[in-house]
């Protein structure tokens, strides 16, 4: 992606003059994002163009309503911006309807409940410790307290979603909505199989492709379009846009979805985000993005092979996507201390529960690893053995209580990262 540093520097200069304390923190974050190997699967680096739209004057404008039907005047530029974003979303994913206003993934999922269910209705989703998302009916979320959340899981022997269990739970509990997709599922989501179960029990199928949107756009993961009644996606993960979300559907659900987002849940849309979503969708429609999506998956597959060869226990044995989930139990190390040690070594992951978790959610057995961000910096399969080796050295150092290893690895990581500048960040 092109570097357009002037925009960024102008913003940084203004910030430094007005609020040096805050500016120093932003600059430190730029440095951190530049120097470290970011392996959190839900994170990425947006282009300078997406950053410019996010930091634009559009943040000054109120626009409650939809293009052509607003509650505020002065929408001469905002209406075409939102139309552009909607049209690009529809074209990229082949959907009849797009709503680009949800503030993020959780509000977008909540809009699905508001559009299709009533409080107390049953909702079937992948259980959080099995790789699902809080808002798919998990009990600590409003979606599990105002609705009756039923969780399905992955099979103990394969680590893959147990479609037999999904079907039998659906037949038994008759959910109003079935969610598919999640946050720590390394394998392909079988949207067609979920659609057939939803049809059998008369449920609405909601496909949460937040993690997968960039892979779907890039043609390396099947699309939920044509299978799901409603599709939810955040825009900042593999899709490489700003922090936001979209809802896609057929024309028959357009009205109820739009009504659920506004006025059902939200007030004014974040126009700067809408503009940045439009930019990201344009980027994702280009030929380079298909190459990017293929590289994300190839990198994850190779990293998985290299980790497995070094003794890491990968949930489901590997990945079809951008993410890997590894259970560290056999290393005698828990996920949280491993993630903290990796962080000190310049490798940023998150601790994560693994299926059939035996530890507590805040101190679980696994770590989650993903390749979207490193691929945006141009790292390829040839770098994966080195990355697997660094992870191995650090995890072993935790088991052997050798914190000196973290410093060595941090230096090596910074050296590699310096050779692969991050998109959107000032160089040098
Ligand atoms: N928090 C996101 C993730 O990291 O996967 C999901 O909402």
CA-40 nearest atom, ligand 1: 4
293 neighbors 92 (Cβ within 8 angstroms): no
Helix axes 404-418, 384-399, angle to 10 degrees: 160
| DSSP, residue by residue, 233-259 | EESSSTT---S-EEEEE-GGGHHHHHH
Average pLDDT over residues 51-62: 97
Q: What's residue 5's pLDDT?
A: 43
223, two tokens: 């699309």
pLDDT tens digits, 381-420: 999 999 999 999 999 999 999 999 999 999 999 999 999 9
Q: Which range among 12-26, 43-57, 230-244 shows the weakest confidence by mean pLDDT?
A: 12-26
User: What is the per-residue pLDDT across 338-365, written as a single tens digit (0 to 9) for each?
Assistant: 999 999 999 999 999 999 999 998 999 9
pLDDT digits (tens, 9 = 90+) for 27-39: 999 999 999 999 9
- The minimum-distance atom of ligand 1 relative to the CA of 105 is 7
What is the per-residue pLDDT for 73?
A: 98
Enumerate the active-site residues. Answer: 62, 64, 208, 234, 237, 243
> How far is residue 427's CA from residue 150's CA, in Å, rounded to a whole number?
48
pLDDT tens-digit profile of 85-121?
A: 999 999 999 999 999 999 999 999 999 999 999 999 9
Per-residue confidence (pLDDT) for residue 38, from 0 to 100? 98
Centroid of ligand 1 to alpha carbon of 277 (angstroms): 18
Residue percentage of the chain with pLDDT more than 70: 97
Closest C-alpha to ligand 1, atom 6: 183
Mean pLDDT of 3-28: 77
Does ligand 1 come within 6 angstroms of the Cβ of 42?
yes
Query: Given pLDDT bands bounded at 50, 70 and 90, which one contains residue 296?
Result: very high
What does the buried/exposed string (b/e) look like for 65-78 if buried means 16 or more CB atoms within 10 Å of the residue's CB? bbbeebeeeebeeb
Cα gap 141→183, rounded to integer Å: 15
Task: Report the pLDDT value the prediction gives residue 428, as an integer from 0 to 100.
Answer: 55
Token code pair at residue 257: 């979805």
Decide: 109 in ligand 1 pocket, CB within 6 A.
Answer: no
Is residue 131 lining ligand 1, measured as CB closer than 6 Å? no
Give all domains of the chain, ordered by start, each with its CATH number: 53-284 (3.40.640.10), 287-419 (3.90.1150.10)
Rounded distance from Cα 42 to ligand 1 centre (Å): 6
Query: pLDDT value at position 270?
Result: 98
Q: Residue 182 to residues 42, 212, 237, 265, 391: CA-CA distances in angstroms?
A: 11, 9, 13, 23, 25
Å from CA of 385 to ligand 1 middle: 26
pLDDT greater at residue 424 or residue 405: 405
pLDDT at residue 167 is higher than 50: yes
CA distance 127 to 212: 18
CA of 84 to the centre of ligand 1 (A): 27
Q: Which of 13-17, 201-205, 303-307 has the lowest mean pLDDT?
A: 13-17
User: Residue 4 above 60 pLDDT?
Assistant: no
Tell me: the pLDDT tens digits for 257-289? 999 999 999 999 999 999 999 999 999 999 999
Please work out whether the CB of residue 238 comes within 6 Å of at least one atom of ligand 1.
no
Q: Name the pLDDT band for 13 (thresholds 50, 70, 90).
A: confident
> What angle in degrees, to the nearest 10, is found between the helix axes of 271-284 and 287-309?
80
pLDDT at 416: 98
In the prediction, which pLDDT does 343 show?
A: 98
Task: Give the model's confidence band at 426: pLDDT under 50 very low, under 70 low, under 90 confident, else very high.
Answer: confident
Which residue's alpha carbon is at the smallest distance from atom 3 of ligand 1?
Answer: 42
- pLDDT higher than 60, residue 7: no
Ligand 1 centroid to residue 183 C-alpha, Å: 6
Cβ–ligand 1 contact at 183 (below 6 Å):
yes
CA of 428 to the centre of ligand 1 (A): 30
Q: What is the pLDDT of residue 10?
A: 56
pLDDT band at 11 (very low <50, low <70, confident <90, very high): low
Angle at 223 between CA 93 and CA 258, to 5 degrees: 50
Collapsing DSSP states into helix, strand and coil, what is residue 367? strand
Query: What pLDDT score was predicted for residue 3?
Result: 45
The answer to whether residue 228 scores a pLDDT higher than 90 is yes
Residue nearest to atom 5 of ligand 1 (CA): 183
Closest ligand 1 atom, CA of 234? 7
């Amino acid at each position: 992606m092109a570097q357009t540093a002037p925009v960024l520097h102008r913003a940084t200069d203004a910030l430094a003059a007005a609020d040096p304390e805050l500016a120093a923190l932003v600059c430190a974050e730029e440095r951190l994002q530049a120097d470290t190997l970011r392996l959190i699967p839900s994170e990425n680096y947006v282009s300078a163009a997406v950053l410019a739209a996010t930091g634009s004057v559009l943040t000054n404008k109120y626009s409650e309503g939809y293009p052509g039907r607003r509650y505020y005047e002065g929408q001469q530029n905002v209406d075409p911006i939102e139309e552009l974003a909607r049209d690009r979303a529809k074209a990229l994913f082949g959907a009849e309807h797009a709503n680009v206003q949800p503030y993020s993934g959780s509000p977008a999922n909540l809009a699905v409940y508001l559009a299709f269910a009533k409080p107390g209705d049953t909702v079937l989703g992948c259980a959080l410790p099995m790789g699902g998302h809080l808002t798919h009916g998990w009990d600590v979320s409003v979606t599990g307290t105002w609705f009756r959340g039923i969780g399905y899981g992955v099979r103990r022997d394969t680590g893959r979603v147990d479609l037999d269990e999904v079907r039998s739970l659906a037949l038994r509990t008759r959910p109003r909505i079935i969610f598919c997709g999640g946050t720590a599922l390394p394998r392909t989501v079988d949207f067609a199989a979920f659609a057939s179960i939803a049809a059998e029990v008369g449920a609405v199928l909601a496909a949460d492709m937040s993690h997968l949107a960039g892979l779907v756009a890039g043609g390396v993961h099947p699309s939920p379009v044509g299978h799901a009644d409603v599709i939810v996606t955040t825009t900042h993960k593999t899709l490489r846009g700003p922090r936001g979300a979209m809802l896609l559907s057929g024309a028959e659900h357009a009205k109820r979805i739009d009504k659920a987002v506004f006025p059902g849940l939200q007030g004014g849309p974040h126009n700067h985000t809408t503009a940045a979503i439009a930019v990201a969708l344009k980027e994702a429609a280009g030929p380079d993005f298909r190459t990017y999506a293929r590289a994300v998956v190839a990198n994850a597959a190779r990293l998985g092979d290299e980790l497995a060869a070094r003794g890491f226990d990968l949930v489901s044995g590997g990945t079809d996507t951008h993410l890997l989930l590894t259970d560290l139990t056999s290393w005698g190390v828990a996920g949280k201390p491993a993630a903290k040690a990796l962080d000190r070594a310049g490798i940023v992951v998150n601790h994560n529960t693994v299926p059939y978790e035996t530890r507590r959610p805040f101190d679980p057995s696994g770590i989650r690893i993903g390749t979207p961000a490193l691929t945006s910096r141009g790292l390829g399969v040839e770098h994966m053995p080195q990355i697997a080796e660094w992870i191995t050295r650090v995890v072993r150092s935790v088991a052997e209580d050798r914190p000196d290893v973290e410093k060595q690895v941090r230096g090596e990581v910074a050296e590699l990262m310096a050779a692969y500048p991050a998109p959107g960040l000032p160089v040098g």
